Amino acid sequence: MADTPLEVRGPEDKTEPQITVAGVLVNAAKGAVADVQDYAMLCGRTLYTLFTPPFYVQDILQQMDNIGAGSLPIILLSGFFIGAVMVLQTGSQFTRFGQSSLTGDVVAIALVRELGPSLTGLLVTGRCATGIASELGSMLVTEQVDAMRAMGTDPIRKLVAPRTIATLLTLPLLTAMTDFMGLLGGCVASVFSLRLSAIEFWRRAIDALDFADLMQGFMKPFFFAFILATIGCYKGLTVRGGTQGVGRATTQAAVLSSVMIIVADAFLTKVALYLADKLF
């Protein structure tokens, strides 16, 4: 349109900016860098709130009940059958060489070092990281987080810190339960499938473990707990798009937490093996 009644203009140029592959890749890279930056800032603020008052003890206890006690049935059931499957798979190979008694050694080392922490972290991620993301996302969509800020309450200290502390306290205990139930399931499978005595299985399993194995197995859950709790909180507090965004954030929290736990497991295993060789 003309700015004045007597001004005459030609047709406006309505050319739209062209979308190129390079532009899409650059925008995606910028978004990924921004997400990493925001997540790092959330982790830093969370670490600060973990060691400074005030502490919401009631919220921590409630989250410990939700994350720890709520995850116990799936941990116990999965750990038992994981140990049984390991004995069935490894025992059939050892039987070929007449070394069935080594089954307890292999199952104990594999469970305590690797399978116990990793599977516990992934199982708790599937149950709790998604729940954290959906819960915080729903609070953000319904403007409860904004109301919390308006009343002078820090959402990081009130929402993120209790969930992180609860996960840090409960995941190592859940890992220990997974290890025990895995050994119990392996013992049952050894007695009924390989015809080994229960006393022989437990003796070989306990003798095969040393302090380096326990250090490696119980160091990982603390890192896995921090990863799954902070990623679940980050995805929940960055929901966009209403209720549909809550669903997307829940899925992204499960996928990203699982991938990050597996990636972190590789680096932690290398560090743990190095420390075991140098210190123990």
Domain range for 203 is 29-279
Q: Is residue 255 assigned to a domain?
A: yes
Q: Is residue 153 assigned to a domain?
A: yes
Total domains in the chain come to 1
Q: Is residue 70 assigned to a domain?
A: yes
- pLDDT over threshold 60, residue 259: yes
Q: Is residue 193 assigned to a domain?
A: yes
Give the pTM: 0.86
Q: Is residue 15 assigned to a domain?
A: no
Q: pLDDT tier at 262 (50, 70, 90 boundaries)?
A: very high
State residue 74's pLDDT score: 92
Q: pLDDT tier at 169 (50, 70, 90 boundaries)?
A: very high
Q: Is residue 23 assigned to a domain?
A: no
Q: pLDDT tier at 98 (50, 70, 90 boundaries)?
A: low
- Three state DSSP letters for the chain: CCCCCCCCCCCCCCCCCCCCHHHHHHHHHHHHHHHHHHHHHHHHHHHHHHCCCCCCHHHHHHHHHHHHHHHHHHHHHHHHHHHHHHHHHHHHHHHHCCCHHHHHHHHHHHHHHHHHHHHHHHHHHHHHHHHHHHHHHHHHHCCHHHHHHHCCCCHHHHHHHHHHHHHHHHHHHHHHHHHHHHHHHHHHHHHHHHCCCHHHHHHHHHHHCCHHHHHHHHHHHHHHHHHHHHHHHHHHHCCCCHHHHHHHHHHHHHHHHHHHHHHHHHHHHHHHHHHHHHHC
